[in-house]
Amino acid sequence: MKTISKFGIMAAMAGSLFLASCATEGYVVEQPVEPVYVRPVAPYAGAYWVPGEWVYRGNRYVYRNGYYTRARANRVYIQGSWARSPRGYVWHRGHWRR
């Protein structure tokens, strides 16, 4: 019986952590202004520049600078963007698409 109750507690904790990790969006009244920075020189031939984007941390959006990475075979990078909703603006992250 103790094993079942321990399993139940562990499952509840895992579920709450999963749900907490899903809450990665926040809404803002106005879109933040993108900072200006100089893109560095590519570190190697064929490097792909992933543009900077907004990350929701601590109840606010912070800007994460872009970076170089290897291009992914048979995929194209879709840049992140702001979307307007009834609750305000929300950032949709960039991603690789087939």
More reliable by pLDDT, 44 or 3: 44
* pLDDT (0 to 100) of residue 25: 80
pLDDT digits (tens, 9 = 90+) for 11-40: 555 554 443 444 568 999 999 998 999 999
Q: How many helices (H) and strands (E) does the chain have?
A: 1, 8
**Global confidence as pTM:** 0.69
- Answer whether residue 83 shows pLDDT above 90: yes
3-state secondary structure of 29: coil
The chain-wide mean pLDDT, for the chain, equals: 84
CA distance 13 to 84: 34
pLDDT digits (tens, 9 = 90+) for 54-65: 999 988 999 999
